[in-house]
Structures are given as structure tokens and as C-alpha cells.
Amino acid sequence: MNKVFVSRRVEKKLHKGQALLEEVDFPDLSETDQEVELFSQRKEFLGKAYLSRQNKGIGWFVTNQNISFKQTFFESLFKQAKLKRSSYYQDELTTAFRLFNQEGDGFGGMTLDLYGDYVVFSWYNSYIYGIRLEIIAAFSQVFPEVLGAYEKIRFKGLDYESAHIYGQEAAEYFTVLENGVLYQVFMNDGLMTGIFLDQHEVRGSLVDGLAMGKSLLNMFSYTAAFSVAAAMGGASETTSVDLAKRSRELSEAHFHANGLSLDNHRLLVMDVFEYFKYAKRKGLSYDVIVLDPPSFARNKKQTFSVAKDYHKLISQSLEILNPGGIIIASTNAANVSRQKFTEQIDKGFAGRKYQVLHKYGLPADFVYNEKDESSNYLKVITMKVSK
Ligand code: SAH
């Protein structure tokens, strides 16, 4: 077992509860993809970690216990994770939710999502991928009821990104329930599955009638999940806008799964900034506007980043929002703090007044590390604009 002696600064960081290890913390590191014992400069044992390069960071602190990352350890983590989700298991109106969320559940670099009878493992680095057989064996002990499993590769270096791993194969498309609404999902086509589970409380607010009797514009709609939730909650009409061609048929499938006709629901394959211009030209306006962009996006003409450009989405929305309308502002950008996000929103409002109706972070199944605010990456603010 490799012993690594960390600086006083890193030791402090670990004491504060941060689990993500960064490149600057390990300047002399030659080898990664290994389990390590961390020690202070004074040679005190700090805990167990692993090192492996991933999209963010260079590894994860795991525990101050001296245990190894074997099947029995993962079994105990999975048992705790399952217990924490008992309210989701009891909720008959929801069959899709997160089962294991990175360091929030005791091990960074991996997530598990349940979609009805199936589970999706996501591996964020090559170390965890390397020990996946132990993890999968532990999983099938604790979750024997899961019929089949898939994996998503969220790091560079392998020649595939999605695969079936064990048990039954799911139908190419099937439906899951969330707050009583059906959504069509797919387990084995790229990294996406047809729905972003971290938004279930926000969709829940729409199902519960936030947009009842109202018109809703859903920007960056992907499979139009917010629109379907709004339609099920009594919205009079919805318009969903996304650049990706495939978004249209996937969106239609969500509507059809719930027996909704598309008469009052438009699906547009279009750039959102073009749509803002179009709506203004045609004098279109909406009661509720949802803004949920990717953290970064590039098209032929421009690049968009939440950190710098979110205010433009707000100011453009205000031009086509009906008096007293609602904006649902959302971002999953981990690099943008709550404070920075609010600053972008306020810049977009440019002095116009609004009332905050609700603020959301990650829902309870996305257990995050409470000592590291950046791990609660989801930020959604529902605002009512003053007349
Ligand atoms: N709001 C969605 C998730 C959005 S994911 C949901 O709740 O499911 C981001 C989406 O933005 C992707 O589907 C991508 O195709 C789309 N997108 C990126 N840039 C865009 C642009 N300039 N105009 C319209 N859609 C865009």
C-alpha cells in the first residue's frame, strides 16, 4: 500500500471535510490509479484515499478508517445508501431516483441511478472502473431485486461509453414514474438516459400546479420533461426549444406516454437566442419561462457560459414574459457558486423587482457532501416578477 505524506494545507482541507483531491495537492505524484494511505507531515494517519485523474480533481479522500476498498466495504456503503432512500422506495408514484451519489454516500467517482427495475452505474475515473467488479458484486448482494445493470464511462481513454453489464436487458425504451408522471427512458444509447433525475423536485412543483392555466416556455428543453410536468399540472400550453434534432421525438414520447395530445404543446428544434428574437418579432409572450442551459455551449456564432452569460437569458426572458410572470432559473454548473448565480440573475433583472418563490438545491436522493458547497451543484430559483 502506498503511503503519501500530504502538506499541512491539504491536511487542513481534509479536516474541513473536503473529499475531492486536486492536482496541486500532489505535486510530486508520478503514479495515479491507486489506493493510498494518507499521512500528515507529522506522520499521523489521516485516512484512505485513491488517486485517479478525472474531469475534476485527481482523486478522492474516502474515509479516516483504515479499511481497503473491497466488496464488504462497498456492501456496507450500499446498505446505508439504500436505507437513506427508504422514502423513495415507499413512494409508489416515483420509480426513478439516485441510489448512490459520489462522496455524499461515502465514495467519490461513482453514481448509481435506479430506473424502475434497472440500474445505471457511472464511472468517473479509471481507478474506479478498474475495481468495478468488486463494486458490482457488492451491489448485486444489496440490491438483488434489480433486474439488470448498465454502465456509463465518464472519463477519457476507453473505446465505449455505454454498455449492459449484467442481468436482464431492458427494452430499448421504457417508462419510469416520477411524481405520478411517466417519462420515457433508455439505458444504452450514449451517456444520456432521457431524463435528468436531479430536477425531480422542480418538476414536482410544476406537476403540483405552479403553471396551472398558464403558458410555459421551456428553453434548452432536451426531452421537454419540464413541459410534460407542467402539462400534467394543468398548464394551458407549452413551447419547448432545443437545438438537438433528436429532442423532438424524445419529447413527443414523454407527452404520449401520459396520453397528452400535442395540440397545445409545441416542440421546436432551434437555437434559444434565435427563438427569443422570433418571439419578440411575433409578439409572443409567456406566463412561465424555464431556463436550464448546459454549463457551456458553443454554436456556429457564439459561445455561451453560465458564469458569464446567464444574465442574457434573464434579460431576454423579461422581454417576452407576461406581467406578474414566473421565471424558473436553473443551472448545474459546479463552477458557479450560489452567490455568482444570483449575481448573474440580478444583472439580468437590471433593477427590476422580483420575489423569490422557492430556491432548490439537489434533492434528498442526491446526497451531497455538506462540508463542500460545490458538491451541491444544482441551483434553481423560482421567481415571480413584479408587475
Ligand atoms: N432542461 C433539460 C436539460 C437541458 S440539457 C431537462 O430538464 O431535461 C441542455 C440542452 O441544451 C441540450 O439538450 C442541448 O441540445 C441544448 N442546447 C445547447 N445549446 C443550445 C442552444 N443554443 N439553443 C437551444 N438548445 C441548446
Q: Going from the first residue of the chain to its last (387 residues), give the mean pLDDT of each consecutive group of 10, the final group possibly shorter.
A: 91 96 85 92 96 93 96 98 98 98 98 98 98 98 98 97 98 98 98 98 98 98 98 98 97 98 98 97 98 89 92 98 98 96 98 97 97 95 94
Ligand 1 within 6 A of CB of 196:
yes
- Ligand 1 mutation pick, 176, 218, 222, 332, max ligand atoms within 8 A of CB: 222
Q: Who contacts 363 (Cβ-Cβ below 8 Å, separation ≥6)? A: 198, 200, 201
Closest CA to 128 of 97, 98, 146, 152: 152
CA of residue 19 to ligand 1 center, whole Å: 30
Task: State if residue 330 touches ligand 1 by the CB under 6 angstroms criterion.
Answer: no
Beta carbon of 224 within 6 Å of any ligand 1 atom: no
345 to each of 44, 296, 342, 363, how far by Cα in Å?
46, 17, 5, 22
Question: Closest by alpha carbon to 203, among 93, 284, 352, 48?
Answer: 93
Q: How many angstroms is it from 243 CA to the middle of ligand 1?
A: 7
pLDDT of 306: 97
- Please give the helix or strand (H or E) that residue 280 lies within, else none: helix 272-282
325 is written with which cell numbers?
A: 410572470
Residue 244 CA to ligand 1 center (angstroms) comes to: 8
**Is the minimum distance from the CB of 107 to ligand 1 under 6 angstroms?**
no
CATH of domain 71-174: 3.30.750.80
Which pLDDT belongs to residue 299?
74
User: What is the pLDDT, as a whole number, of residue 26?
Assistant: 86
* Cβ neighbours of residue 243 closer than 8 Å, sequence gap 6 or more: 269, 270, 271, 272, 299
Residue type, 231: A
Residues forming CATH 3.30.750.80 domain(s) in the chain: 71-174
Q: What is the pLDDT of residue 15?
A: 95
Q: Which amino acid is present at 149?
A: A
Residues facing 218 on adjacent strands: 240, 290
Amino acid at 340: K
Residue-wise DSSP of 252-271: HHHHHHTT--STTEEEEES-
Nearest Cα residue to atom 3 of ligand 1: 222
pLDDT of residue 297: 86
Closest CA to 276 of 262, 264, 291: 291
Q: In ligand 1, which atom is closest to the CA atom of 223?
A: 8
Is 217 close to ligand 1, i.e. is its CB under 6 Å away? Answer: no
CATH 3.20.20.70 fits 196-385, yes or no: no
Closest atom of ligand 1 relative to the 294 alpha carbon:
9
Which residues in the chain are classed under CATH 3.40.50.150?
196-385
- The best mutation among 186, 242, 270 to test binding of ligand 1, ranked by most ligand atoms within 8 Å of the C-beta, falls on 242
| CATH number 2.30.130.10 given to 2-63 | yes
How far away, in angstroms, is 305 Cα from ligand 1 center?
A: 13
Q: Rounded to the nearest 10 degrees, how much is the dihedral formed by the CA atoms of 186, 192, 198, 202?
A: -80
Query: For residues 36 and 309, what is the distance between their CA atoms, to the nearest angstrom?
Result: 41
The x, y and z cell numbers of residue 374, run together, are 460545490
For the chain, where do the domains classified as CATH 2.30.130.10 start and end? 2-63
Q: What is the dihedral of CA 6, 10, 12, 15, to 10 degrees?
A: -80
